[in-house]
Amino acid sequence: MTGGVVTFEQAKICPRCGKPGEEGKSVPVSAPRVPRGTRVVFVWCRTVVCPWYATSWPIQVYHDGTVREHDHSRDEKEYRVLPNFDARSQAVLDAVEAQVAMERRGDGEIRNG
Ligand SMILES: [Zn+2]
């Protein structure tokens, strides 16, 4: 068990075809109690034969550069719960989910710094 902590390079690997995805938009997560600098990076699969071709998945990158692995085996809104999961982590996840949902709807004001 790695505890869900992965490197960014690992997180960029498409869970369906195993090839590295293409890094796309990076969205800062701004919410109370979320450490400044936390962001979500969207990665796109560019493997034409892959079921996830042209599909993006969010990678959550913390202010300190650590990455939390997205649990692709469950509903795509679910993030793996870490052993040291606490209320602050929950606040981060909530903010990330809100940001991701906003991105996918294509509305809301996204400020890029
Ligand atoms: Zn793929």
Whether 113 is covered by a domain: the verdict is no
Determine which helix (DSSP H) or strand (DSSP E) holds 87, and give its type and residue range. helix 87-105
When pLDDT is averaged across residues 17-34 and rounded to a whole number, the result is: 88
The yes-or-no verdict on residue 75 having pLDDT over 70 is: no
Whether 21 is covered by a domain: the verdict is yes
Q: Domain range for residue 79?
A: 5-104
Least confident of 5-14, 27-36, 62-71: 62-71
What total number of domains does the chain contain? 1
How far apart CA 53 and CA 91 sit, in angstroms, is 31
Express as a percent the part of the chain with pLDDT over 70: 68
Whether 110 is covered by a domain: the verdict is no
Whether 17 is covered by a domain: the verdict is yes
Whether 109 is covered by a domain: the verdict is no
Q: What's the maximum distance between 2 C-alpha atoms anywhere in the chain?
A: 41
Q: For residue 15, how far is its CA from the centre of ligand 1 (angstroms)?
A: 7
When pLDDT is averaged across residues 67-85 and rounded to a whole number, the result is: 53
Whether 57 is covered by a domain: the verdict is yes
Whether 111 is covered by a domain: the verdict is no
Q: What is the pLDDT of residue 73?
A: 53
Q: For residue 65, how far is its CA from the centre of ligand 1 (angstroms)?
A: 24
Q: What is the pTM of this model?
A: 0.59
